Structure 1
Amino acid sequence: MNVKNIEESPLKQRLRTIIFGTDTPEGKAFDIALLVSIVASIILICLDTIDSLHHAYGELFLIGEWMFTVIFTLEYVLRLYCSQNRFHYARSFFGIVDLLSILPSYLALIFPAANFALAIRVLRLFRVFRVLKLLRFLADGNLLLKAMLQSSRKVFMFFFSVSLIILVLSVVMYVIEGPNNGFSSIPKSMYWTIVTITTVGYGDITPQTPLGQAIAALTMLIGYSIIAIPTGILTAEISHEMVKVRDLRKCSNCGKKGHDNDAQFCNHCGSELETLDSLTRP
């Protein structure tokens, strides 16, 4: 490792510190400038999709887009140049996203429609987790993920039951209302049932008969009744996981349990506690 560092040029080591080192002032400034460029590029792409602005400032948008493309291309090349393991970076999530965010501009020279794929550049905003040190909040994300996995079977059974209700109501509405009132088929009736039971209600298909309207009112009430069930299931699992975590955070020195999720030291003997992230990691 020392031989490798000696063989590397000071410029390469300096670039690595700036580009990959988020703990240094230069690294933070570089990442923040990169995030600002990404946001500006995304705003430019969004504005270019407005016809009036595209006709008025289309050339400026094109110049700006190529300016950002050159910046991101240079950044990608520099990352490959100063990376300790270029193959590892190229295969990483950020490496793939960095490449995909510049390819559409070059592909657009051959396939103009490919330029709309530039919206994938928004994925690069995930770098904010590294810049702002938000990785410490991943423990809460892991807890939520475990709760979702634990409740997956219950949620599946819930959606299966709702699907049966939708199917029954769709058949009933198709029989009662019929094609004359817009319910021309069972799939069309299923569409109406779904938008009604989810309380969206586009209004493009409405029942006309008194019996159909009564069933529609019942469907709306069913929708309000079941809409809170998945939330209740997930909330119960989250509470269960939080209790488990509090029980798991046992002090290795005195054995005391029930520490807060953000506690770093035991409130009884002062010993250092195991991190929440290590306990909630799937």
Structure 2
Amino acid sequence: MNRNLPADLTTKERLYHIIFESDTREGKNFDVALLIAILLSVLTVMLESVSSIVREYGALIRSTEWFFTVIFTIEYFLRIYCARNRKGYILSFYGMVDLISIIPTYLSLIVVGTQYVLMIRILRLLRVFRVLKLYHFLGEAEILSRALRQSAAKITVFLGAVVTLIFIVGSMMYLIEGPENGFTSIPVSIYWAIVTLTTVGYGDIAPQTIAGQMLASIVMIMGYGIIAVPTGIVSVELSKADIKNKKSRVSLNASSKQFCKPQEIKWEKIQQKAK
């Protein structure tokens, strides 16, 4: 349940609770309004990339974009003003995202097209976990992050082997097909090998000879197997991380009970003496 802000707070303390906290009615309303503004600003940037809409409503879209940029700029400096650790906020992940989300609009006055980088504002929606109190999702994200870190070495070795295979297959296809069949160089052949091995298959380049088609068939079949390898690696590490997290919770609960039991016994003795 959201509480009201105390009346005896200074302006700076009041701003801090509204902007950085979400356990008050004012703070919750601010965060919800901020999330809506972020969504509307991202929608504005998306509409600006549609030429038919820009021709008719270009001035309105640019004005709206500047309106949101000014709002977010004021919000950013208010965060710096009322933050308890200003340097910590500025150098934090959210602080960097808040800054980067306003720079492109000002930069677009010098470099045309940089306003589309404003799509990075979508990262600010990560605050929805704090606003809606979805902290258990953050715990699950930490487990996933830990699993990815643990499997990084295995995946790096695997990717190294895949890159080596791509270079070999690309070179072989260049020798088999040659420029007359569209494989004009080894880099082009490597591009084909990447597209085929990942089972994307754009179809802009295709082998014409029987030998080339046989090699392509082998590469396609290998592609399905290669996709499954990193999935298995991450799944194993994710399972290990989940088990480790559950064990730590069990041990924490056990230690908590051991601490509480002597306190309960002591309280019972005090009550007996009082009787």
Q: Shared fold by TM > 0.5?
A: yes
In structure 2, what is the Cα distance between the partners aligned to 1:175 and 1:15?
Answer: 68
Local SS of the residue matching 1:204: coil
Cα deviation per residue 1:61-118 (whole Å; 9 max; x = unaligned)?
1221122122222222322333333343333332332233223333333444333332
1:32 partnered with 2:42: no
Alignment deviations for residues 110-163 of structure 1 (CA, whole Å, 9 cap, x no partner): 444333332232222222122122333222222222222222222222222222
Are the structure 2 counterparts of residues 146 and 95 from structure 1 closer, same or farther at C-alpha, using a change threshold of 3 Å?
closer
**AA matched with 1:188:** V
Structure 1 residues 207-216 or 93-102, which shifts more?
93-102
Long gaps (5+) in structure 1? 1-7, 256-264, 273-282
**Matched-pair identity in %:** 49
Distance 1:248 1:119, change over 3 A: closer
Q: 1:252 to 1:243 in 2, by over 3 A?
A: closer
What is residue 182 of structure 1 aligned with on the other side? 182
1:235 aligns with 2:239: no
Name the counterpart of 1:224: 224
Q: Which amino acid aligns with 1:169?
A: V
Matched letter for residue 140 of structure 2 = D
Q: Shift of residue 22 of structure 1?
A: 0.8
TM-score using structure 1 length: 0.80
Distance 1:15 1:246 in 2: 39
Equivalent runs, 1:15-26 vs 2, <5 Å: 15-26=15-26
Distance 1:198 1:249, change over 3 A: same
Name the SS for the 1:227 alignment partner. helix
Instruction: Tell me the amino acid that sits aligned with residue 162 of structure 2.
Output: V
In 2, the alpha carbon distance for the partners of 1:162 and 1:85 equals 46
Q: CA deviation at 1:28?
A: 0.6
Alignment of 1:152-231 (within 5 A): 152-231=152-231
Q: 1:12 to 1:208 in 2, by over 3 A?
A: same
Residue number in structure 1 paired with 2:247: 247
Q: How many Å separate the matches in 2 of 1:220 and 1:129?
A: 41
Structure 2 residue identity aligned to 1:100: I
Is structure 2 residue 118 aligned with structure 1 residue 102?
no
Once the two structures are superposed, residues 5-25 of structure 1 have per-residue CA deviations (whole angstroms, 9 ceiling, x without a partner) of xxx973333222222221111
Q: Please, what is the CA RMSD of the aligned residues?
A: 2.6
Cα gap change, 1:176 to 1:45, in 2 (>3 Å): same
CA distance in 1, matches of 2:253, 2:64: 60
Change (3 A) 1:49 1:186: same
Alignment of 1:132-171 (within 5 A): 132-171=132-171
- The letter of the residue matching 2:19 is I
User: In structure 2, do the counterparts of structure 1 residues 157 and 108 end up closer, same or farther at CA, with 3 Å as the change threshold?
Assistant: closer
Whole-angstrom distance in 1 between the partners of 2:49 and 2:253:
61
Between stretches 89-98 and 37-46, larger displacement belongs to 89-98
Q: Which amino acid aligns with 1:69?
A: T
Aligned residue in 2 for 1:85: 85
- Distance change in 2, residues 1:55/1:199 (3 Å): same
1:17-75 residue CA offsets vs partner (Å, 9 max, x unmatched): 22222111110110000110011011001101110100100011122112212222222
- Divergent runs of 4+, >6 A: none
Q: Which amino acid aligns with 1:86?
A: R
1:220 and 1:74, CA in 2 relative to 1: closer, same or farther beyond 3 A? same
Mapped to 1, the partners of 2:211 and 2:254 lie a distance apart of 69
For residues 61 and 43 of structure 1, what CA distance do their matches in structure 2 show?
Answer: 10
Could you tell me how far apart the structure 2 residues matched to 1:248 and 1:9 are?
40
Matched letter for residue 84 of structure 2: Q
